[in-house]
Amino acid sequence: MQNLVVMGVAGCGKSSLGQALAEALGWAYIEGDAYHAPASIAKMRAGIALTDQDRAGWLDMLGAELLRHPQGAVLACSALKRAYRERLRAASAGLGFVFLDITRELSLQRVAERAGDHLFPVSLVDSQFAALESPVSEAGVLSVDAALTRAEQLQEALTWAKGEGA
């Protein structure tokens, strides 16, 4: 695997695990939220869920960003729908996905706890779960329980990424 995407709904811990995984692998870290268009950020802050059209250019930028790191990169990106994951796979051959699987209750709690520090409001959590198409049956996907400690998540992801548990 040359690149990884840490994915899941809001509050699952994509950024935290993505940063730790990139550091442990010696790869670049890409924060997907940093690539949203200003109009998309404004929509989310207003509590309006993004559409497939809103996400299209964003996914293309993220795919291009993955290509900029031939030595390896970890991208934190919701990648909620299979079509979004396929778009990223088309940009980066052999792309792996670490799916942080979280309950609605824990997601709501975590998003509420970070309310002042993040662009994503609690009111959009349900839209994330409605849009989520589980990647568990897809090739190149590791499912990790978001309720585990960060250290446990990191160990599972590293073992899988290094091919020891795949």
pLDDT reported for residue 165: 47
118, pLDDT greater than 70: no
The length of the chain in residues reads 166
Average pLDDT, the chain: 91
- In this structure, which topology does domain 3-161 adopt according to CATH? Rossmann fold (3.40.50)
Let me know: does 118 contact 36? Beta carbons within 8 Å. Answer: no
What percentage of the chain reaches a pLDDT higher than 70? 94
pLDDT at 1 over 50: yes
Residue 144: count of CB within 10 angstroms of its CB: 23
| Pairing state between β 73-76 and 28-31 | parallel
DSSP strand pairing (3-7 vs 96-101): parallel
Calculate mean pLDDT across residues 45-50: 83
Q: What is the mean pLDDT of residues 131-157?
A: 96
Which two tokens mark 23? 């550091």
8 A C-beta contact, residue 33 and residue 78: no
Distance between CA atoms of 21 and 74, rounded to whole angstroms?
A: 7
pLDDT given for residue 166 in this prediction:
45
User: What residue spans define the domains of the chain?
Assistant: 3-161
